[in-house]
Amino acid sequence: QVQVVDSGGGLVQAGGSLRLSCVISGRSVGNNPMGWFRQAPGKEREFVAGIAWSAIDYADSVKGRFTISRDNAKNTMYLQMNSLKPEDTAVYYCAARQSWNNVVMRRAGQYAYWGQGTQVTVSS
């Protein structure tokens, strides 16, 4: 049984920062590709950032502002979000793939394990 727990969301003013965390436990999937997605009200879930063994990818909308990282020893992934904008407001989800490879996937359907989501609200 795999458990994914994401946390760290909150309310912040535009220009501020937040750091999201994602802890994965259970089966040995900690080294599998992982990603962050977000979903705003009335919109589809979208890719934000992903990390594989030696690959990292970002959505164009967050490049230069967000940084994804992971600590394999702690089975934890992070998303440092700086220079936040009101359009970053969404529920953010952590996800992990079921199998290992060294490719970051951008489609939500390619991830098997999901956190419960953490709300990020950026006020103007």
Structure confidence at residue 1 as a pLDDT band (50, 70, 90): confident
Neighbouring C-beta atoms of residue 29, cutoff 10 Å? 20
DSSP calls for 71-95: EGGGTEEEEEE-S--GGG-EEEEEE
Q: What is the predicted pLDDT for the residue at 42?
A: 95
Average pLDDT over residues 85-103: 94
Q: What is the predicted pLDDT for the residue at 95?
A: 96
Backbone angle region of 110, left / alpha / beta, with phi > 0 → left and psi within -120 to 50 → alpha: alpha
Instruction: Write the pLDDT tens digit of every residue in 3-24.
Output: 999 999 999 999 999 999 999 9
Instruction: Write the pLDDT tens digit of every residue in 56-84.
Output: 999 999 999 999 999 988 999 999 999 99
Share of the chain above pLDDT 70, in %: 99
pLDDT at 31 over 90: no
Q: What is the predicted pLDDT for the residue at 118?
A: 98
- Mean model confidence pLDDT for the chain: 94
